Amino acid sequence: MTIQSLGYIGINSTDLSQWKTYGTEVLGLQDVTDQHPDSDKCLLLKMDDRPYRMVIQQSDTDSFGFCGWEATSQANMASTIDKLKAAKVKVSHASSELTKQRCVTELVSFVDPAGNQHELYWGPISNSKKMISPVGVSGFVTGEMGVGHVVLPAPNFDETTQFFSDVLGFGLSDLMNIRFSDDPDEPIKRLWFMHCNQRHHSLGLFEMEFPSGCIHAMLEVESIDEVGKCNDRRIAHDVGLSGTLGRHTNDHMLSFYMRSPGNFDIEYGADGRTIDDWEKFTVFESTVPSFWGHDFSVGQG
Ligand SMILES: [Fe+2]
């Protein structure tokens, strides 16, 4: 497997101050923008011992920006680039300035068949400083499993899932076939959950358009208490709830969903399961998203 993890995510923002408040006071991340003088018109949020895991860039839209995928080595990155080129995907090498800003050794970008933006890098550069959460979050579950997961729109579903499987080497963890209404004429939308490490899924692909470019991004904290504390901060900051507390059937994550200034949801969870041996894992279809909870009707209207 050439891609190790979701190393960071990029977000577009018309007002960085919204993300500064949300990222630090609700999510509990550390603002380290001042520690990176090269980063112009960006907000950098630290989750762990990496320099940062979220970059919010000044933009004329409030939307998801890109995924930053981490390759384990120079050789693995080179072989992934070869596969992208063989699949006729344009690979753009980043400038030395951007590579330095991302705190990595080598950086390229590409676009998937659904139009989602991605970066690929190897050799993260870190001074190993710990994250100091401004609201006392004990820590996020990251490491070799990366940031968490993102669910991206993929209206051209077959082409996009094939791209992530065959070109980038992701494995299918499980899937859902979803209708939002009881109307039998509503087309079924496929949702695939895909892995690149022990985390049950680092990527979801949903067979639908989504204007902000991301359905949700998930951050995992170390305990259920930290999930509850974040919900308290959500209420204190009047951030809308999108889905009530619940536990998912596929990754067993105990989580809730809330709005973000990026027009996509943040899932904030704990207790997600990990899969040590994918060879012994049976890919399955879930007919319900959760064992209990996760009432998404609270976010409607
Ligand atoms: Fe999720």
CATH number of the domain that residue 117 is part of? 3.10.180.10
CB atoms within 10 A of CB 301: 4
Pair (92, 154) in one structural domain: no
Q: What's the CA-to-centroid distance between 250 and ligand 1, angstroms?
A: 10
List, for residues 12-22, the tens digit of each pLDDT value. Answer: 999 999 999 99
Pair (207, 101) in one structural domain: no
Residues near ion ligand 1 (Cβ under 5 Å): 218, 267
Exposure string of 23-57, with b = 16+ CB inside 10 Å and e = fewer, is bbebbbbbbbbeebeebeebbbbbbbebbbbbbbb
Q: What's the CA-to-centroid distance between 74 and ligand 1, angstroms?
A: 30
**Is position 138 within any domain?**
no
Q: What's the CA-to-centroid distance between 165 and ligand 1, angstroms?
A: 19
Pair (107, 150) in one structural domain: no
Q: What's the CA-to-centroid distance between 264 and ligand 1, angstroms?
A: 12
State residue 180's pLDDT score: 82
222 CB-contact burial (10 Å; exposed 0-12 / middle 13-18 / buried 19+): middle
Is residue 135 pLDDT above 70, yes or no?
A: yes
Pair (160, 92) in one structural domain: no
Pair (114, 159) in one structural domain: no
Mean pLDDT of 259-273: 98
**Is position 131 within any domain?**
no
Q: What's the CA-to-centroid distance between 40 and ligand 1, angstroms?
A: 31
Average pLDDT, the chain: 96
Is residue 114 pLDDT above 70, yes or no?
A: yes
Mean pLDDT of 204-222: 97
State residue 1's pLDDT score: 58
Mean pLDDT of 133-145: 97
For the record, the structure tokens of 191 come out as: 């949702």
Pair (51, 108) in one structural domain: yes
Q: What's the CA-to-centroid distance between 202 and ligand 1, angstroms?
A: 9
Structural domain count, the chain: 2
Is residue 301 pLDDT above 80, yes or no?
A: no
**What range does the domain containing 192 cover?**
143-291
